[in-house]
């Protein structure tokens, strides 16, 4: 089937970039509009689970990813004060291949994004930087996109990949504004050489406590340690959802925790600790409005407690591309198939992630001992490259 459609992808995060590559690989014409002056991702770690790695393999990027990060060998739950092992889960290449058909990797977000950028055929027609979408409208023949730089463009179909604060979601879908979930997150990347005594066995370690949690894992072949520290808060009202903070604030929150936790926080380079007030929106009943649909955080901005937000965006992207390949220029059919294949699963993870935050930071010690993937283990073998569409 020939493909004549021009698909506009608004937002070049991990979701938008995966969609761009997957669509291009199927001979489909895409234009990526990104508000930033250059492509890239923040300096932080990310879990790329087996479900996401199946897509990476399907895009032909497996060797590149393997060179960036080997399979995670093990994960564990450690006591927040003593560091004692409360749960130890062997993972590794063979176990994951057997159970889920792909490995799990702990990576630097910028490395994941850069690999997608290399796979994307970017030229002046397919990538528009400094294009911040300000308005969107549609008629019988197409979608009109308006940008802050004064430009206007027309596409046959538009996919909102513009993240949690999606303007397209606000303009076209019945949605409430992002609301504070009650969780703060502080993230940092620390040079391993500054904390040589910190153990990386288990490779991924979570230290849950009542209302707080710390997780750390090595990235870039163990040269860096990534951490995420969470605490429940009520009534956070900052307008800025993502800002730098002084580590004193984090040290106060985690005072009295075991040496590895405090040592990692202390080793954060000055001005390099990022603070997030985690926001979310309620799951939607539909992701389609005429010629426009949603993908990734724009569709399902979930809490990070299953480490699956980007994984879901990557799955969405692969399924979306397969739907357009299967439906040719029948965009209505393609969008219907996409929503049908994806909405239920993404909304399920949305709810599961929120619940996982509650069990991780529960008042009951037994809840806190559960494996990091408790409740979704059976979902990790999902294959977006072959699932029915
Ligand atoms: C603390 C924390 C830890 C996390 N850990 C993990 C993890 O381990 N594993 C995992 O899978 N997920 C994780 N996530 C979730 C993950 O980061 C997100 O789900 C994922 O990045 C969403 O990708 P996206 O492409 O949909 O959106 P985004 O990454 O938000 O990208 C949106 C893009 O759109 C652009 N944009 C926005 N508005 C406009 C506009 N108006 N015009 C043009 N461009 C625009 C932005 O500049 C950006 O490039 C974590 C999240 C947090 C907060």
Report DSSP letters for 28-84, one per residue. Answer: -EEEEEESSSS----S-EEEE-HHHHHHHHHTT-HHHHHHH-PPP-EEEEE-TTT--
Looking at the fold, whether 264 and 342 belong to one and the same domain comes out as no
CA–CA separation, 113 and 12 (whole Å):
9
Percent of the chain with pLDDT over 90: 93
Distances from the Cα of 195 to the Cα of 192, 337, 385, angstroms:
5, 49, 40
First to last CA, the chain: 17
pLDDT of residue 240: 61
Q: Would 380 be classed as within a structural domain?
A: no
Distances from the Cα of 329 to the Cα of 3, 143, 153, 295, 340, angstroms:
6, 15, 20, 19, 18
Distance from the CA of 167 to the center of ligand 1, in angstroms? 14
143 by DSSP, 3-state: which?
A: strand
196 by DSSP, 3-state: which?
A: coil
pLDDT of residue 234: 80
Looking at the fold, whether 299 and 156 belong to one and the same domain comes out as yes
Two structure tokens written together for 27: 């001979």
24 by DSSP, 3-state: which?
A: helix
What is the bridge-based pairing of β-strands 292-294 and 157-160? parallel
Distance from the CA of 295 to the center of ligand 1, in angstroms? 11
Domain range enclosing 336: 6-50+110-177+283-365
- Selection from 329, 343, 331, 334 nearest residue 287 by Cα: 343
In ligand 1, the atom with minimum distance to the C-alpha of 296 is 26
Query: For the stretch 173-188, what's the b/e string if a residue is b when 16 or more beta carbons lie within 10 angstroms of its beta carbon?
Result: beeeebebbbbbbbbb
CA–CA separation, 122 and 167 (whole Å):
24
In ligand 1, the atom with minimum distance to the C-alpha of 36 is 47
Q: Using the predicted structure, report yes or no on whether residue 112 has a pLDDT greater than 90.
A: yes
pLDDT of residue 235: 73
Q: What is the DSSP letter of 177?
A: P
Atom 29 in ligand 1: residue holding the nearest Cα:
13
Distance from the CA of 290 to the center of ligand 1, in angstroms? 24
Chain segment 130-158, per-residue pLDDT in tens: 999 999 999 999 999 999 999 999 999 99
The pLDDT of 64-77, averaged and rounded, is: 96
Two structure tokens written together for 166: 């999606």
Looking at the fold, whether 137 and 198 belong to one and the same domain comes out as no
Q: Would 379 be classed as within a structural domain?
A: no
pLDDT of residue 371: 93
Looking at the fold, whether 288 and 331 belong to one and the same domain comes out as yes
Distance from the CA of 41 to the center of ligand 1, in angstroms? 9
The domain boundary, picked from 250, 280, 310, lies at 280
The domain boundary, picked from 280, 312, 330, lies at 280
Residue 161 — very low, low, confident or very high, per pLDDT cuts 50/70/90?
Answer: very high
Two structure tokens written together for 207: 């230290």
Q: Which residues contact 244 (CB under 8 A, 6 or more apart)?
A: 271, 272, 273, 274, 275
Q: Would 378 be classed as within a structural domain?
A: no
The pLDDT of 102-116, averaged and rounded, is: 97
Looking at the fold, whether 123 and 201 belong to one and the same domain comes out as no
Residues in contact with ligand 1 (CB, 6 Å cut-off): 10-16, 33-36, 46-47, 131-133, 161-164, 167, 185, 187, 228, 276, 278, 296-297, 304, 307-311, 313
Chain segment 267-301, per-residue pLDDT in tens: 999 888 999 999 999 999 999 999 999 999 999 99
Two structure tokens written together for 278: 């985690």
Which H helix or E strand runs over 342?
helix 331-360
Looking at the fold, whether 26 and 121 belong to one and the same domain comes out as yes
pLDDT of residue 38: 96
pLDDT of residue 92: 87
CATH code where residue 118 lies: 3.50.50.60
Picking from 26-35, 242-251, 373-382, which range would have the lowest pLDDT averaged per residue?
242-251
Q: Would 59 be classed as within a structural domain?
A: no
Residue 351 near residue 363, CB atoms below 8 Å? no
Chain segment 47-58, per-residue pLDDT in tens: 999 999 999 999
Looking at the fold, whether 218 and 350 belong to one and the same domain comes out as no
Q: What is the DSSP letter of 283?
A: P
Residue 239 — very low, low, confident or very high, per pLDDT cuts 50/70/90?
Answer: low
pLDDT of residue 271: 83
CATH code where residue 268 lies: 3.30.9.30
Looking at the fold, whether 39 and 151 belong to one and the same domain comes out as yes
pLDDT of residue 3: 78
- Selection from 349, 353, 285, 289 nearest residue 316 by Cα: 349
Q: Would 79 be classed as within a structural domain?
A: no
Q: Would 90 be classed as within a structural domain?
A: no
How many structural domains comprise the chain? 2
The domain boundary, picked from 280, 307, 337, lies at 280
302 by DSSP, 3-state: which?
A: coil
Q: What is the DSSP letter of 245?
A: E
Residue 54 near residue 385, CB atoms below 8 Å? yes
Angle between helices 14-25 and 309-327 (to 10 degrees): 30
CA–CA separation, 259 and 164 (whole Å):
35
Q: Would 196 be classed as within a structural domain?
A: yes
pLDDT of residue 243: 75
Looking at the fold, whether 232 and 336 belong to one and the same domain comes out as no
Best residue among 152, 309, 313 to mutate for probing ligand 1's pocket (most ligand atoms within 8 Å of CB) is 309
Looking at the fold, whether 31 and 156 belong to one and the same domain comes out as yes
pLDDT of residue 236: 67
Distance from the CA of 297 to the center of ligand 1, in angstroms? 6
Q: Using the predicted structure, report yes or no on whether residue 1 has a pLDDT greater than 60.
A: no
CA–CA separation, 203 and 195 (whole Å):
15
In ligand 1, the atom with minimum distance to the C-alpha of 311 is 11
Looking at the fold, whether 140 and 163 belong to one and the same domain comes out as yes
Residue 43 — very low, low, confident or very high, per pLDDT cuts 50/70/90?
Answer: confident
Q: Using the predicted structure, report yes or no on whether residue 2 has a pLDDT greater than 70.
A: no
Chain segment 353-383, per-residue pLDDT in tens: 999 999 999 999 999 999 999 999 999 999 9
Q: Which residues contact 40 (CB under 8 A, 6 or more apart)?
A: 110, 113, 114
pLDDT of residue 244: 78
Looking at the fold, whether 249 and 171 belong to one and the same domain comes out as no
Picking from 106-120, 136-150, 234-248, 368-382, which range would have the lowest pLDDT averaged per residue?
234-248
Q: Would 342 be classed as within a structural domain?
A: yes
| Partners of 78 in the β-ladder | 85
């Amino acid at each position: 089937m020939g493909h004549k459609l021009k698909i506009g992808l608004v937002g070049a995060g991990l979701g938008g970039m995966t969609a761009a590559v997957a669509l291009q690989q199927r001979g489909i014409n895409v234009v990526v509009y990104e508000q930033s002056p250059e492509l890239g991702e923040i300096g932080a770690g990310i879990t790329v689970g087996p479900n996401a790695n199946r897509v990476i393999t399907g895009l032909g990027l497996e060797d590149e990813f393997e060179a960036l990060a080997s399979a995670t060998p093990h994960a564990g739950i450690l006591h927040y004060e003593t560091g004692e092992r409360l749960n130890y889960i062997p993972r590794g290449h063979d176990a994951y291949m057997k159970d889920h058909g792909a490995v799990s990797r702990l990576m630097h977000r910028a490395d994941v994004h850069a690999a997608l950028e290399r796979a994307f055929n970017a030229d002046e027609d397919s990538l528009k930087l400094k294009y911040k979408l300000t308005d969107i409208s549609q008629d019988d023949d197409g979608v009109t996109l308006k940008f802050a730089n004064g430009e206007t463009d027309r596409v046959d179909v538009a996919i909102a990949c513009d993240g949690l604060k999606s303007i397209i979601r606000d303009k076209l879908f019945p949605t409430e504004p992002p609301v504070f979930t009650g969780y703060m997150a502080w993230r940092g990347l620390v040079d391993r050489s500054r904390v040589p005594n910190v153990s990386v066995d288990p490779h991924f370690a979570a230290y849950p406590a009542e209302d707080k949690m710390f997780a750390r894992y090595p990235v870039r072949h163990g040269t860096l340690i990534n951490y995420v520290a969470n605490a429940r808060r009520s009534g956070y009202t900052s307008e800025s959802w993502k800002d730098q903070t002084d580590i004193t604030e984090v040290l106060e929150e985690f005072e009295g925790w075991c040496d590895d936790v405090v040592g990692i926080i202390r080793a954060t380079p000055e001005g390099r600790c990022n603070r997030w007030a985690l926001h979310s929106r309620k799951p939607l009943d539909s992701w389609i409005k005429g010629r426009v649909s949603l993908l990734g955080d724009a569709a399902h901005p979930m809490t990070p407690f299953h480490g699956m937000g980007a994984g879901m965006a990557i799955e969405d992207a692969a399924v979306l591309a397969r739907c357009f390949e299967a439906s040719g220029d029948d965009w209505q059919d393609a969008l219907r198939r996409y929503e049908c294949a994806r909405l239920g699963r993404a909304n399920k993870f949305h709810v599961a992630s929120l619940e996982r935050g509650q069990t991780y930071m529960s008042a009951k010690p037994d809840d806190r001992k559960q494996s990091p993937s408790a409740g979704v283990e059976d979902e990790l073998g999902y294959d977006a490259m072959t699932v029915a569409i």
